[in-house]
Amino acid sequence: MPDTKPPPRDDEAIRLFVERMALTMSELGFPRMAARVVYTVMSADDPMTAAEIGERLGVSPAAISGAVRHLTQLGMLIREPVPGSRRDRYRVPEDSWLEVLNLKGGVYKMFADMADEGVRALGEQTPGGRRVAYMRDFFVFVQGEIDGMVARWRASRQA
């Protein structure tokens, strides 16, 4: 029997990967359980049901339910109803990160707008006003860069 076993699907290492990613995300302000769900589903070969995710992570269905609601809203998880079954399947879209960037990306515009109000409150000519104006300009710049970045990524994937 030739050694044609499938690749070394190291379950323990996968779990570690999931947890480490999730922990890092949570340190950045992303809900922890949601992150665990994303990476679990991403790591799976096929779409998973809520029950499977919960079992794999060893958490209650309630936790999955909440995480999934959040994630689908963000576009980081896609719910696929299975015809003739109550089970829904979940999978991660190929470009989930791009989606997040697009959606959350508006954050910079929001900051820029808030900063602009700050400038008005402080007065254009005050030292504080100038500093906040500088910040506003920076956020406007970043917002523009992100838009360009998304375009470049898409283009580079065409190739």
Partner DNA sequence: CGCTTGCTTCACAACTTTGTGAAGCGAGTG
Partner DNA sequence: CACTCGCTTCACAAAGTTGTGAAGCAAGCG
Residue 43: exposed, middle, or buried by beta-carbon count in 10 A (0-12, 13-18, 19+)? Answer: middle
Residue tagged 């500088």 (tokens): 134
2 interacts with, out of its own copies, DNA, none, CB within 5 to 8 A per kind: none
Among 33, 41, 76, 77, binds DNA (CB under 7 A): 33
Query: Cβ contacts of residue 125 below 8 Å, gap of 6+?
Result: none
Give the footprint of DNA on residues 41-100 (CB under 7 A): 49-51, 58-69, 84-88
Closest distance of CB 53 from DNA, Å: 8
Residue 13 in the binding site for DNA (CB under 7 A): no
The first and second tokens of residue 10, run together, are 């190291």
Closest distance of CB 54 from its own copies, Å: 18
Name the segment binding DNA (CB under 7 A); options: 2-10, 25-33, 113-121, 136-144: 25-33
8 interacts with, out of DNA, its own copies, none, CB within 5 to 8 A per kind: its own copies
CB closer to DNA, 65 vs 126: 65
- Calpha distance 26→61 (Å, rounded): 20
- Calpha distance 134→122 (Å, rounded): 13
Q: Beta partners for 79?
A: 90
Closest distance of CB 23 from DNA, Å: 10
Q: How many residues belong to the chain?
A: 159
Identify residue 59 by its one-letter amino acid code. Answer: V
- Contacts with DNA by CB under 7 A lie at 26, 31-33, 49-51, 58-69, 84-88
